[in-house]
Amino acid sequence: MLGIDLSDKRALVTGAGQGVGRQTALTLAEAGAVVYVNDLRAERCDAVVGEIRALGGLAEPLVFDVTAYDDVIGAVTSTGGLDVLVNNAGNAGAEGFNFGPVAEQDPSAWAPYLRVNLDGVMFCTRAVLPAMIEQGGGRVVTIISDAARLGEPRMAAYAAAKAGAAGFLRSVASEVGRHQITVNCISLGTMRTESSGPDLEETNPEFLKTLLRSYAIRRRGEPSDVANLVAFLASPLASWLTGQTIPLNGGYSMAL
């Protein structure tokens, strides 16, 4: 049976202090990578690093804001070069959600989504590429949303930012493939995380039932679902897979 071995790799996971990012960091460390755990909050970084080390893995905290380019460059430089970047930081960062109809929103409400989901992805990707090119290989995996693929109502700015990131990364994939660098996106459906209400099964089962009617597999995604696919894309097993957006959504939408 094929296994995933990342024991000679250095990986940065942004937004890794909780949810999907936390589980991704744990999974990459379990596969043997040295994981740099990023979050805006030092206590979150330290907690996840502590979890990884308690399990025998290798991890370091890396506190920085993905929307501050100079900070991104400084943090990435401090690692000495990375083999894997997971662009996971998303939503609206520390400012929280502010969804609503476009016709009723002030455009200033859109800026946090663009900063985190588009600028942050562009900044982090730009920061890691020179070392990956020099070493002749690397992996960039970016978490986007089915809101970008399908056009969810009341989420236009978020959808625009995620779609922009996917378009940016397709171009990057075309540029860097000759250096054995692969660049892919994972497009998520509804997830079960802290920010999305993990206890809906108990607090609002009827709403959850309605929410999942459009899903072929009628459950929300778990962080482990994402982490396992990230680990595959980060591994040598995915060396001929690049420039793709892979739906991971329980059949909420289907791709040809």
Rounded to 10 deg, the angle between the 120-135 and 156-176 helix axes is 10
C-alpha triplet 22, 26, 31: angle, nearest 5°? 150
69 among known catalytic residues: no
- Residue 137 near residue 181, CB atoms below 8 Å: yes
Q: CB-based burial of residue 107 (10 Å sphere; 0-12 exposed, 13-18 middle, 19+ buried)?
A: exposed
Q: Which of 36, 69, 113, 158 is catalytic?
A: 158
Token pair 């755990």 is found at 37
Q: Let me know if 189 is exposed, middle or buried by CB neighbors in 10 A (0-12, 13-18, 19+).
A: buried
Residues annotated as part of the active site: 158
